[in-house]
Amino acid sequence: MDIFELDLKGRKILSELSLNGRASVASIAKKVGLSKQVVKYRLENLEKNKVIEGYYAILNINKLGYLYNRVFFKFQNVNPEKENEIIKICSSHKKIGWVAQIDGDWDFGFVVWAKDTIEFEEVLDEILNKFGEFFEDKFISVSTRIYHFKYKFFLDSKDSTELVLGGKIKEPEIDELDYNILGILTKNARKSLLEIGEELKIHPKVVKYRINSLINKKIILGFNIKLNHKLLGYTHQKVFLNLTNISKENISKLIFYIKSLNNSIYITKAVGVADIEFELLVRSNEELHNVMRDLRYNFSNLIKNYSSFIIYYEPYINYLPFKK
């Protein structure tokens, strides 16, 4: 695969869109020191070349009454046609909001949005009834908190911006119009107020008010770009840490350290296989090695062991899958 080369201005544009995918062309232009016309052209070029594959709203699904249930699988007897079929079925399911192809100990994963354990079990059983013979092994975990970080690596930045998904499950005080707006923004976060208003047959001012209200309620956490990291020469690594001597103080120190890493993009706390998980975009195995070496040196009394795998591709991300 040919690497798409970014100049400094291109990196600045992507950095401005990170966690802020609805940023206006005018505001981006002002931040990066280009004209609106040039920024518009560059954005269209990044989209045309599939560096940017889309824009999506990041929702705190806990505030919509849902649990974030993850399942990872090891395949057996799977050919490319069957893998594509599994991906297609899972991506079209109204309770599945994330699908990933993986390299390493696991081959495939998805996230189920479910109100409770019974609903999650129903979705999992449905997938296993269709494709269970192609899964050698699986593990399940429930995310309780996910930290989303700005893409600092584009500019070697110390920007500490983060969005945190999680908290207690709550039934939201929102109506069908709010859900319809959320459904649009999870598929295309850069749709204008006018376009959304025309689609829903309401005034753009109403759309603006509703979006601001959803942000104030922290149901909408932010808006992100779907980045094709492979085209930029990056590998998406996920690391599972198993810890000893666990305390709130130790966990806080570890999370603070991982947040400070220039190439960290997520931290996940979950009930499941690992105590802490985090994700990085790295340019080489040596870069990952250096990160893990320094982490083990700095937290030698806390880290018991770790494992990692590559998230090769995420064909589907939608924070409101039942509004496909």
pLDDT at 273 over 90: no
**Mean pLDDT for all residues in the chain:** 95
Total number of domains in the chain: 1
The C-alpha atoms of residue 30 and residue 187 are separated, in whole angstroms, by: 27
pLDDT at 1 over 80: no
The alpha-carbon radius of gyration of the chain (Å, integer) is: 20
- The answer to whether residue 188 is domain-embedded is no
- The answer to whether residue 273 is domain-embedded is yes
Name the least confident of 66-80, 206-220, 239-253, 292-306.
239-253
- The answer to whether residue 39 is domain-embedded is no
Tokens 């039934």 belong to residue: 171
Q: What is the pLDDT of residues 135-179, one digit of tens each?
A: 999 999 999 999 999 999 999 888 889 999 999 998 888 999 999
- Structure confidence at residue 152 (pLDDT): 93
Q: What is the pLDDT of residues 233-258, one digit of tens each?
A: 999 999 999 999 778 888 899 999 99
The boundaries of the domain holding residue 254 are 54-173+217-324
Q: What is the pLDDT of residues 172-181, one digit of tens each?
A: 889 999 999 9
277: nearest Cα among 268, 264, 290: 268
- Structure confidence at residue 262 (pLDDT): 93
- Structure confidence at residue 140 (pLDDT): 95
Name the least confident of 50-59, 266-275, 278-287.
266-275
- The answer to whether residue 257 is domain-embedded is yes
- The answer to whether residue 4 is domain-embedded is no
| H-state helical runs in the chain | 8-17, 25-32, 36-48, 80-92, 117-131, 176-187, 193-200, 204-216, 248-260, 285-298
CATH number at residue 252: 3.30.70.3460
The C-alpha atoms of residue 50 and residue 4 are separated, in whole angstroms, by: 10
pLDDT band at 267 (very low <50, low <70, confident <90, very high): very high
pLDDT band at 220 (very low <50, low <70, confident <90, very high): very high
Mean pLDDT, residues 91-110 taken together:
96
| H-state helical runs in 20-150 | 25-32, 36-48, 80-92, 117-131
- Structure confidence at residue 97 (pLDDT): 96
Q: Do residues 264 and 292 lie in contact, with contact meaning Cβ atoms separated by under 8 Å?
A: no
